[in-house]
């Protein structure tokens, strides 16, 4: 298992390195290519596509949870293939309904275009995700990682081609994203051909299996959607209340945060099938070890902000307001990294999806209230952005308290120290000149390491 786990981690990191490179390429080059208005429309498309997972209705998540840890050869190919075909029909049906409604209720041409292309992306992406979840559940992470690289590399080639030919139209970027995801789907289809091309199973049994997956996975799917809505609500209200340009500037800051989260999300996918095979005592030991590692490593993220802000200002000075927003939003990266890699993974391993759903949904409602108050009572964009950070932080804190109790982890000192570090970073970046801000935070981090020297030493000894 250790050899397979290390190989999976290697390919996961390789895939995410590719994704990171392409994301950096797109985030840094696309604004210069398109200009702020077209870039904001591109961000609107990206924003809409993040929610297409809602329309597989939890079928993919249920399959992932039920198959997690088994061998590929043990899958009932006929039954899984029938579910793939049923999901394909559902995606096409939902896509048609969305397109019809867009023509009825939306008047702006570019928004209609974005909605239609999002619908096409939904069909391709959710079918790709179905097969990707199977590959991850049966520990074929290498194949999944390659499909991710195919998607990102083709999209990157599309970006470079548009720049070389001087095409200043965001619509061609949309087509490039569709091409990349479609190629990734075809790769998965080839490697799961026993499933995709299996004869259709008994219709009643197939529908019954889909319903079981839906029941099992819908809670996790809704938990994931609620998690995305925590930030998504704020972005929607920014678009509605302050307009497309403000939406684009905030989205750019969040896109930079997502650079850091890419590695974490992929590693968590590798951890899930590995942790599923551990017993209770081993899970507790792994939890404590991972928690210590994250506590020491994640605060380093804040040190990257200062040189990154200087470089981005030189490259894209017209987006300077985004870098101020980034200083406020960066703690989201810290909280979400812990959630993705540790807490959410343990919720899934322990089959506590309902608790995760309740936490995410409650915080999403809290985020909605804070966002509405910030926009329509105080009319303050900065307050709304800060409330987004508070919401994500509260979600992480609740999850940590719950999982730590289950894992019998009584070392809570590091948690309070992290909160102090984050507070110092936010105050330093918003109130001090850059040189004093980086000096203050660097000293604070060194003190933090000194206080946790014993934990750090014990971690490296194991």
Phi and psi, residue 89, nearest 5°: -60, -45
Region 12-24: mean pLDDT is 73
Query: Taking all residues of the chain, what is their mean pLDDT, rounded to a whole number?
Result: 85
User: What percent of the chain shows pLDDT beyond 70?
Assistant: 92
pLDDT in tens, 224-263: 788 888 888 998 899 889 988 888 889 888 888 877 776 6
The number of angstroms, rounded, from the C-alpha of 394 to the middle of its chain's C-alpha atoms is 18
Band (pLDDT 50/70/90 cuts) for residue 388 is very high
Which residue has better confidence, 218 or 303? 303
The SS3 call for residue 78 is helix
* C-alpha to C-alpha distance for 329 and 50, rounded to whole angstroms: 19
Range scoring the smallest mean pLDDT among 63-67, 261-265, 295-299, 379-383: 261-265
Report the phi/psi class of residue 69: left, alpha or beta, with left for phi > 0 and alpha for psi in -120 to 50. left
How big is the chain, counted in residues? 462
- Which residues have C-beta within 8 Å of that of residue 457, sequence separation ≥ 6? none
Give the mean model confidence (pLDDT) for residues 124-135: 92
118 — alpha (psi -120 to 50), left (phi > 0) or beta?
A: alpha
- Considering only 104-113, 260-269, 291-300, 415-424, which range has the smallest mean pLDDT? 260-269
Domain chopping of the chain, boundaries: 1-201, 227-462
Cβ 40 vs Cβ 108: under 8 Å: no
Higher pLDDT, 409 or 284: 284
Q: Residue 303 has which token pair?
A: 């040190």
Please report the pLDDT score of residue 461 as a whole number.
Answer: 61
Give the Cα separation of 358 and 40 in Å (integer): 33
pLDDT-above-90 percentage for the chain: 32
Give the mean pLDDT of 390-419: 87
Q: Which residue has the tokens 């990257």?
A: 304
Write out pLDDT tens, residues 426-440. 899 888 888 899 999
Cβ neighbours for 219, distance < 8 A, ≥ 6 positions apart:
58, 353, 354, 356, 357
Structure tokens belonging to residue 289: 């070890």
Q: Say whether 51 sits in a helix, a strand or coil.
A: coil
Model confidence over 316-348: pLDDT tens digits?
888 888 888 998 999 998 999 888 888 988 888
Instruction: Tell me the pLDDT band of 458, cut-offs 50, 70 and 90.
Output: low
Region 264-279 average pLDDT:
70
> Any idea which of 118-132, 174-188, 221-235, 272-286 has the lowest mean pLDDT?
272-286
The answer to whether residue 453 scores a pLDDT higher than 70 is: yes
Reduced to 3 states (helix: H, G, I; strand: E, B; else coil), residue 389 is: helix
Q: What is the mean pLDDT of residues 72-95?
A: 89
pLDDT at 216 over 80: no
- For the ranges 300-304, 380-384, 451-455, which has the lowest average pLDDT? 451-455
Please state, in angstroms and rounded to a whole number, the distance separating the CA atoms of residues 247 and 236. Answer: 8
Q: Which residues contact 236 (CB under 8 A, 6 or more apart)?
A: none
Question: For residue 56, what pLDDT is reported?
Answer: 83
Which two tokens mark 57? 């209705």
Q: How far is CA 274 from the centre of its chain?
A: 21
Cβ neighbours of residue 405 closer than 8 Å, sequence gap 6 or more: none
pLDDT-derived band of residue 8, with 50, 70 and 90 as boundaries?
Answer: low
Residue 185: per-residue pLDDT: 97
User: Which tokens go with 150?
Assistant: 């195919």
In degrees, rounded to 5, the angle at the alpha carbon of residue 166 between the alpha carbons of residues 162 and 172 is 40
Phi, psi of 198 (to 5 degrees): -70, 150
Residues 144-183: tens digit of each pLDDT: 889 989 999 999 899 889 888 877 788 999 999 999 999 9
What is residue 9's predicted lDDT score, i.e. its pLDDT? Answer: 66
Indicate whether 87 pLDDT > 60: yes
Q: State the pLDDT confidence band at 212, using cuts at 50, 70 and 90.
A: confident
Look at residues 181, 183, 180 and name the one whose alpha carbon lies nearest to residue 158: 180
For residue 190, pLDDT beyond 90: yes
């Amino acid at each position: 298992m250790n050899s397979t786990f290390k190989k999976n981690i290697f390919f996961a990191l390789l895939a995410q390195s590719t994704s990171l490179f392409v994301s950096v390429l797109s985030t840094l080059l696309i604004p210069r290519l398109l200009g702020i208005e077209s870039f904001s429309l591109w961000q609107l498309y990206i924003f809409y596509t993040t929610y297409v997972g809602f329309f597989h209705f939890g079928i993919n998540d249920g399959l992932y949870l039920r198959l997690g840890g088994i061998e590929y050869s043990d899958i009932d190919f006929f039954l899984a293939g029938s579910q793939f075909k049923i999901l394909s029909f559902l995606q096409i049906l939902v896509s048609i309904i969305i397109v019809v409604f867009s023509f009825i209720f939306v008047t702006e041409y570019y928004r209609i275009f974005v909605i239609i292309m999002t619908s096409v992306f939904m069909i391709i992406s959710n079918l790709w995700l179905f097969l990707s979840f199977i590959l991850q559940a049966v520990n074929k992470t290498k194949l999944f990682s390659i499909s991710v690289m195919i998607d990102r590399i083709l999209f990157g080639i599309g970006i470079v081609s548009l720049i070389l030919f001087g095409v200043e139209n965001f619509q061609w970027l949309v087509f490039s994203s569709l091409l990349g995801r479609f190629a990734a789907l075809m790769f998965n289809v080839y490697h799961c051909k026993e499933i995709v091309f299996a004869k259709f199973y008994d219709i009643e049994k197939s529908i019954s299996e889909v319903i079981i997956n839906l029941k099992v996975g819908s809670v996790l799917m809704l938990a994931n959607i609620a998690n995305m809505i925590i930030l998504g609500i704020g972005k929607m209200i920014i678009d509605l209340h302050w307009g497309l340009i403000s939406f684009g500037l905030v989205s750019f800051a969040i896109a930079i945060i997502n650079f850091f989260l890419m590695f974490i999300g992929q590693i968590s996918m590798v951890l899930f099938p590995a942790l599923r095979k551990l017993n209770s005592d081993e899970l507790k030991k792994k939890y404590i070890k991972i928690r210590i590692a994250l506590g020491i490593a994640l605060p380093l993220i804040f040190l990257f902000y200062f040189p990154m802000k200087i470089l981005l200002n030189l490259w894209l000075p017209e987006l300077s307001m985004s870098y101020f927003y980034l200083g406020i939003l960066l703690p989201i990266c810290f909280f979400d990294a812990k959630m993705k890699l540790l807490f959410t993974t343990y919720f899934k391993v322990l089959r506590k999806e309902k608790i995760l759903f309740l936490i995410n949904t409650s915080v999403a409602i809290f985020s909605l209230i804070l966002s509405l108050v910030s926009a329509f009572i105080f009319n303050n964009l900065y307050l709304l952005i800060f409330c987004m950070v508070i919401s994500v932080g509260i979600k992480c804190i609740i999850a940590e308290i719950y999982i730590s109790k289950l894992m019998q982890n009584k070392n809570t000192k590091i948690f309070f120290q992290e909160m102090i570090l984050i507070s110092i970073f936010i105050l330093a970046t918003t109130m001090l000149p850059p040189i004093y801000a980086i000096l203050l935070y660097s000293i604070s981090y060194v003190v933090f390491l000194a206080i946790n020297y014993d934990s750090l030493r014990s971690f490296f000894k194991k």
